[in-house]
A and B are shown apart, each in its own frame.
Chain A
Amino acid sequence: MSDTSVEVRQRIRELLVDLFNGDRFVGTVSDSVSLREAGVSSTALVSLLVAMEDAFGFEWDDDVQPEVLRSIDSLAGYVVALRN
């Protein structure tokens, strides 16, 4: 895993910690697990996507595929691909 990928994952975790007011919940969520199945609500997911736009300086494509938004891994992969 590249340093960039590790940094992006860490930043996404920080955004989730901000959304959930602490890391009690986020600390239980692995990078590969489905965020929705882990208990992230639709409002929290949209909040995260908006926060990612600000944190990483991009806008989500209208046609982004659902699997991209599945997990911390897939979200980070999308951001890293954009940067490359």
Chain B
Amino acid sequence: MAAELRVPAGVDPDAVIGCRPVPWPHGPAQQFAAGRRAAAAALASAGSADRDVPRDPDGRPCFPRGFAGSISHTDHLAVAVVVPGAEAVGVDIEDMTVTPRMARFVLRERERRTLLPPVGVFTPRDLFAVKEAAFKAMNGAGALGEFLFWRIELSRSDDALVASYRGEPVPVWVRSEADLSFAVAIRR
């Protein structure tokens, strides 16, 4: 597992990343704490004096005003991305195997045909992370109501994927490494 991550190519240059390892025993409490430490590191790098990220009533992380951000973690690594001035940010890292059956569950036939090899360059795990990151960016304000992340539709654009739900598009960038996929969605 990579100890550090780099933001995917093409992401807004103002985006700031924080990474922290999840200590043993790698449970939900350790993952949560590592996520908050990663967020504090990203906020510090972004110039925010406020580095606390409490939970809102729905359990979502509440970043300081003007510093939109998002947190994700695996069992062993937590990552946070902050984009000053953005409306919303969504981040996801995935290290789990996404089986063909799971891919059929979360990806539409058109998405599998056009975005997975041999036509596309993305792995099922990449696209899973892309949808989850887009969901976080779209769902941050709760304006679209409650929905399931796999209902988001993906299409290609020049330097990013575009995720859409109910006519609301958000660009998503993904970095694929051997042991994980790292996706960042930013709403302006």
Residue of A nearest to B145 (CB): A66
A contacts with B: majority SS = helix
Complex CA–CA separation, A64 to B148 (angstroms): 9
The count of residues in chain B whose C-beta lies closer than 8 Å to any C-beta of chain A is: 20
Residue of B nearest to A34 (CB): B59
**Lowest 7 A-B CB distances belong to which pairs?**
A39-B28, A43-B96, A66-B146, A46-B102, A50-B101, A42-B132, A37-B59
The count of residues in chain A whose C-beta lies closer than 8 Å to any C-beta of chain B is: 19
Determine if A41 and B146 form an interchain contact, defined as CB atoms under 8 angstroms apart: no
Residue of B nearest to A25 (CB): B27
Q: How far is the CB of A17 from chain B (nearest CB, A)?
A: 15
Determine if A44 and B31 form an interchain contact, defined as CB atoms under 8 angstroms apart: no
Determine if A50 and B102 form an interchain contact, defined as CB atoms under 8 angstroms apart: yes
B128 within 8 A of A: yes
Determine if B148 and A69 form an interchain contact, defined as CB atoms under 8 angstroms apart: yes
B106 within 8 A of A: yes
Complex CA–CA separation, A83 to B62 (angstroms): 41
B5 within 8 A of A: no
Residues of B near A60 (CB, < 8 A) are: 105
A10 within 8 A of B: no
Residue of A nearest to B94 (CB): A43
Q: What would 28 A/B residue contacts be, using CB atoms closer than 8 Å? A: A25-B27, A25-B28, A34-B59, A37-B59, A38-B28, A39-B27, A41-B96, A42-B92, A42-B128, A42-B132, A43-B94, A43-B96, A43-B128, A46-B102, A46-B106, A46-B128, A47-B96, A47-B99, A47-B102, A49-B105, A50-B99, A50-B101, A50-B102, A50-B105, A60-B105, A64-B148, A66-B146, A67-B146
B149 within 8 A of A: yes
B98 within 8 A of A: yes
Determine if A43 and B98 form an interchain contact, defined as CB atoms under 8 angstroms apart: yes
Instruction: Render B91-129 as a binary contact track against A, CB cut-off 8 A, 1 for contact.
Output: 010101011011001100000000000000000000010
